[in-house]
Amino acid sequence: MELQADVAVVGAGAAGLSLALRLARPPAGAARLDTVLLTAPPGPAAAPPRTWCFWEAGEGPYDEALTASWQRLRVRGADGTAVSAAIAPLRYKMLRSDAFEALAGHAIASGGRVRRVEAAVDRVEQTADGALVHARGANGRRVVVRARWVFDSRPLPRLPPARTTLLQHFRGWFVRTARPAFDPSAVELMDFRTPQPAHGLSFGYVLPVGPAEALVEYTEFSRRVLSREAYDRALRDYTGRVLGLGGPGDYEVTECEQGVIPMTDAVFARRTAPAVFRIGACAGATRPSTGYTFSAVQRQTDAVAAALHAGRRPLPPLPHPARARLMDAVLLHALDSGRVDGPAFFTRLFARVPAPRLLRFLDGRTSLPEDLAIGAHVPVAAMLASALALPLIPRRDPPAA
């Protein structure tokens, strides 16, 4: 099968769906763009369901699909001291990927501009006037899409060379308790009462959907992922010893979620050929110091859709400002080298910097004076030593995951 389109979007995860959604609903007067969205068939290329959290002020375009949202965040130090902060006018929002797929799928189907084709993409080839996407459907039939522009969101087979590559790796349980056990008014963003690993840091993360229902995660920032048994052991310890939920008989685990988000100061290519661009995590949308990606994906796909609708060259913008990437590179190296104590660093930052400002900082939306004010609350000597060491470290290929 050969299809013609103005735009081909490869991959239907956060980035692919966000772009397709915007192209399905063009603003009044914008050029009509025929779009093909290539979604992976069931199998190894299909991404497992996941939960995306992000923050934004007031109402947002995906509110009808949210599982929950909160206006209060809490961070707990290793000794249990809690710092709780209101984040108004922001809201911290929880969106499950299947709900987002349903919302986007509905908009795409009703817009009439985007065709969904279920096929696994093998390669993308630049041509004289655009690009060819070569794919294979579930039944093995060949699919070729000829498009003016291609946006590829497939995960990279290998991360680019970097000075520091840490992994944010985690496993979560959707837990239902027999009795009320959670405070549904606040998210436990980082709870450092978990045993700390020899390298990196660990914390618990709790998204309370109701008094007796929550997504409880055990997360590490370190170099290597754990076995599933090790995550489950850590979760049993966290839910039992730390949260006091009791043993397995006292709660039910209704679902699990596991993932790895690279935290790296690598430079990600946003264009691989004149008509072929990358979007999403593979284009560097993940904020290196936190792993949050979803908001940057929204900004990136907004800009790409606006350029396409205006007939401009749609190079995705840099997902994070240069200053933010530099500060993150320093922090990643400081954490990786053990120069800073991760739990103390994050607890102190959260206690000293107003949470809405910290969240704006993580979105790259703070001014230089605001960044300097935030910098006053970090361990200056350790960060300076890390900043001075950084230029001497070569960029290396990260070890295979």
Ligand X SMILES: Cc1cc2nc3c(=O)[nH]c(=O)nc-3n(C[C@H](O)[C@H](O)[C@H](O)COP(=O)(O)OP(=O)(O)OC[C@H]3O[C@@H](n4cnc5c(N)ncnc54)[C@H](O)[C@@H]3O)c2cc1C
Applying CB under 6 A, the residues found at the interface with ligand X are 10-16, 38, 40, 45-47, 50-54, 120-121, 153-155, 257, 259, 261, 280-282, 292-294, 297
E strand segments, 289-382:
none
Q: Least distance (Å) from ligand X to the CB of residue 384? A: 29
Integer angstrom CA distances of residue 14 from 10, 249, 295: 12, 36, 10
| Residue 381 neighbours by CB distance under 10 Å | 10
How many alpha carbons fall within 13 Å on the CB side of residue 205?
Answer: 17
Task: Pick between residue 297 and residue 308 the one whose CB is nearest to ligand X.
Answer: 297
The angle formed by the CA atoms of residues 192, 175 and 91, to the nearest 5 degrees, is: 65
How many beta carbons lie within 10 A of that of residue 51, not counting itself?
19
Shortest Cβ distance from residue 104 to ligand X (Å)?
A: 11
CA 64 from chain centre, in angstroms, equals: 20
Q: Which is nearer to ligand X, 154 or 193 (CB)?
A: 154
Smallest distance, Å, CB 390 to ligand X? 25
The least CB distance from residue 47 to ligand X, in Å, is 4
State how beta strands 2-10 and 90-96 pair: unpaired
Query: What residues are paired with 38 via a beta bridge?
Result: 10, 117
| 3-class secondary structure, 32 | coil
Residue holding tokens 């966290």?
238
Which residue, 285, 370, 375, 282, is CA-closest to 331? 375
Closer residue to ligand X, CB minimum distance, 55 or 238: 55
- The tokens describing 163, both together, are 């000075």
DSSP string, 36-69: EEEEPPSSTTSPPP-EEEEEEES--TTGGGEEEE
Given a contact cutoff of 8 angstroms between Cβ atoms, the answer to whether 187 and 215 are in contact is no
Nearer to ligand X, 60 or 379 (CB): 60
Residue nearer to ligand X on the CB measure, 29 or 44: 44
C-beta of 119: minimal distance to ligand X in Å?
7
Nearest residue to ligand X, scored by beta-carbon proximity: 13
Nearer to ligand X, 263 or 340 (CB): 263
Contacts of 367 (CB under 8 A, 6+ apart): none
CB of 270 to ligand X, least distance (A): 13
Structure tokens at 140: 């093995």
Give strand pairing partners of 175: 214, 253
Nearer to ligand X, 50 or 146 (CB): 50
CB of 167 to ligand X, least distance (A): 11
CA angle 161, 164, 168 (to 5 degrees): 105
Q: Nearest distance from residue 217's CB to ligand X, in Å?
A: 9
**Shortest gap between Cβ of 386 and ligand X (angstroms)?**
25
Residue 52 vs 192, nearer CB to ligand X: 52
d(CA 396, CA 238): 35
Name which of 106, 128, 151 is nearest 16 in CA terms.
Answer: 151
C-beta closer to ligand X: residue 45 or 393: 45
In a 13 Å sphere around the CA of 111, the CA atoms on its Cβ side amount to: 23
Residue 93 beta carbon to ligand X: minimum distance, rounded to whole angstroms: 10
Residue closer to ligand X, measured from CB, 77 or 259: 259
Residue among 328, 222, 351 at smallest CA distance from 265: 328
